[in-house]
């Protein structure tokens, strides 16, 4: 079966996990800090806190940034539900800003319009969660300018773009955003099975997240106090069990060493798809920009099914019959029943997101995908859409 994404594990990954399992501590042990240090060095943050998932990372980030009732958090309708959900977890209100059809990312010009709209209502935007969709970085220069001008917090939901470069810099995310979140789910650039992290240059945010990660429990007391009560621990705030295991972190450290190799291969596969579809009427390949490297977590191919001889539904099923499993990323979040009912979002409120959704399909792209499999996928897509 060829799926849209898949992890790649080699002998060094397996050996790293096996070695960690022989340690006395298989959770809250030395591999945690080792992985955190590796992430800090790779992505240029002063602080890093690894957690149980990318969702946990977003939840804790909102908490540490002080989101609360009546705060408005902006994000894109095209992304995973964890982004706006993190606002709700913290009692805030999520709202959406439509995408730019040239980049598939949140549109900075539309953000300014949304800010002006809330200003008339005498309400202020608290934060923007910008998703580097598919692995292609947002316009972070424009977002930072908006952040400074209107005093809005910036969160980079960087889960798709681990290994991407913005103006040649792999460390861009922590330079522009107050907080950066990662996911290490198996289809991401690197994996720990399930897992995630928060990267930041703000010590207070880091310390709050580290505390919240483990039930809000403090154990750092003076030696005098510990001599009298060596069993002591204190819960200073309401926290969560968002810890990650040592053996997951051992896998993460091993995977991180191969990140560059993984991203190079994803870009090679993307270039094959680009060559096959870029000059064909009815197809639009993912965006490209000078000085920007796409991490290609996804390869979203836009197909104008109205021009083709097949519907999107039948297209999916026909490829599935050939053991090629595509996906769509994503159903626009404002159309989800929960968001429509709770916040009253109208389906046509974000037209670019709807246009994108109607046409997009995520083609298989992952390190272990062979060239002959890529050409097989291209062959069947052309055949099904009537392209010669």
The CATH number of the domain where 253 resides is what?
3.40.640.10
The DSSP call for residue 129 is: E
SS3 368: coil
In tens, the pLDDT along 86-121 reads 999 999 999 999 999 999 999 999 999 999 999 999
Task: Name, in order, each residue with C-beta under 8 angstroms of 99's C-beta and a sequence gap of 6 or more.
Answer: 76, 77, 78, 105, 106, 107, 133, 350, 352, 353, 356
Co-location of 44 and 161 in the same domain: yes
243: Cα separation from own chain's centroid: 19
Look over the chain and give the mean of its residue pLDDT values, rounded to a whole number. 96
In tens, the pLDDT along 186-204 reads 999 999 999 999 999 999 9
Query: What is d(CA 79, CA 330) in angstroms, rounded to the nearest whole number?
Result: 6
Domain that holds residue 372: 260-385
Co-location of 24 and 163 in the same domain: yes
Co-location of 201 and 277 in the same domain: no
Co-location of 305 and 252 in the same domain: no
pTM summary value: 0.96
In this prediction, residue 223 has a pLDDT band, given cuts at 50, 70 and 90, of low
Q: Which of 221, 263, 206, 162 has its CA nearest to residue 51? A: 206
Query: What is d(CA 27, CA 321) in angstroms, rounded to the nearest whole number?
Result: 43
**pLDDT score of 231:** 78
233 in a domain, yes or no? yes
Co-location of 193 and 279 in the same domain: no
Task: Name, in order, each residue with C-beta under 8 angstroms of 34's C-beta and a sequence gap of 6 or more.
Answer: 249, 250, 253
The CATH number of the domain where 355 resides is what?
3.90.1150.10
Mean pLDDT for the stretch of residues 2-22: 97
Domain end call among 258, 282, 305: 258
Total domains in the chain come to 2
Co-location of 280 and 221 in the same domain: no
Q: Which of 310, 330, 276 has its CA nearest to residue 134? A: 330
In this prediction, residue 221 has a pLDDT band, given cuts at 50, 70 and 90, of low
Give kind and range of the element (H or E) at residue 112.
helix 108-120
In tens, the pLDDT along 331-386 reads 999 999 999 999 999 999 999 999 999 999 999 999 999 999 999 999 999 999 99
**Torsion (CA) 363, 368, 370, 374 in degrees, nearest 10:** 0
Question: pLDDT at residue 314 above 90?
Answer: yes
Query: What is d(CA 315, CA 282) in angstroms, rounded to the nearest whole number?
Result: 14
In DSSP terms, which residues pair with 43 in a beta bridge? none
Question: What is the separation, in whole angstroms, between the first and last Cα of the chain?
Answer: 25
74 phi and psi, to 5 degrees?
Answer: -95, 145
Co-location of 275 and 230 in the same domain: no
């Amino acid at each position: 079966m060829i799926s849209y994404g898949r992890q790649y594990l080699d002998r060094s990954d397996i050996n790293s996990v096996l070695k960690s399992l022989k340690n006395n501590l298989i959770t809250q042990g030395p591999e945690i800090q080792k992985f955190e240090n590796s992430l800090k060095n790779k992505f240029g943050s002063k602080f890093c806190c690894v957690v149980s998932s990318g969702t946990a990372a977003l939840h804790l980030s909102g908490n540490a940034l002080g989101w609360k009732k009546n705060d408005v958090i902006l994000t894109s309708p095209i992304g995973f539900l964890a982004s706006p959900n993190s606002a709700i977890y913290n009692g805030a209100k999520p709202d959406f800003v439509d995408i730019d059809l040239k980049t598939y990312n949140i549109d900075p010009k539309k953000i300014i319009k949304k800010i002006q709209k809330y200003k008339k209502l005498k309400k202020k935007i608290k934060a923007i969660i910008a998703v580097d969709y598919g692995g292609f970085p947002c316009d972070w220069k424009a977002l930072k300018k908006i952040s400074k001008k209107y005093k809005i917090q910036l969160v980079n939901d960087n889960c798709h773009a681990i290994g991407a470069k913005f103006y040649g810099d792999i460390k861009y995310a922590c330079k522009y955003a107050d907080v950066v979140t990662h996911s290490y789910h198996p289809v991401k650039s690197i994996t720990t099975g399930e897992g995630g992290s928060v990267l930041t240059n703000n010590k207070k945010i880091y310390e709050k997240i580290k505390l919240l990660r483990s039930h809000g429990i403090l154990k750092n007391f003076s030696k005098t106090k510990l001599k009298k009560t060596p069993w002591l621990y204190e819960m200073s705030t309401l926290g969560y069990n968002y810890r990650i295991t040592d053996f997951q972190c051992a896998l993460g450290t091993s995977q991180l060493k191969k990140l560059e190799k993984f991203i190079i291969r994803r870009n090679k596969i993307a270039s094959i798809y680009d060559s096959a579809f870029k000059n064909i009427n009815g197809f639009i390949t993912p965006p490209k920009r000078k000085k920007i490297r796409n991490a290609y977590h996804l390869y979203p191919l836009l197909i104008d099914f109205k021009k083709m001889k097949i519907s999107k539904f039948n297209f999916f099923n026909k490829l599935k019959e050939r053991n090629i499993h595509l996906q769509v990323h994503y159903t626009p979040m404002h159309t989800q029943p929960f968001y429509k009912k709770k916040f009253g979002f109208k389906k046509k409120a974000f037209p670019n997101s709807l246009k994108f959704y109607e046409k997009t399909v995520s083609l298989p792209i992952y390190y272990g995908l062979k060239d002959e499999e890529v050409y097989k996928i291209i062959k069947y897509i052309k055949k099904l859409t009537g392209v010669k």
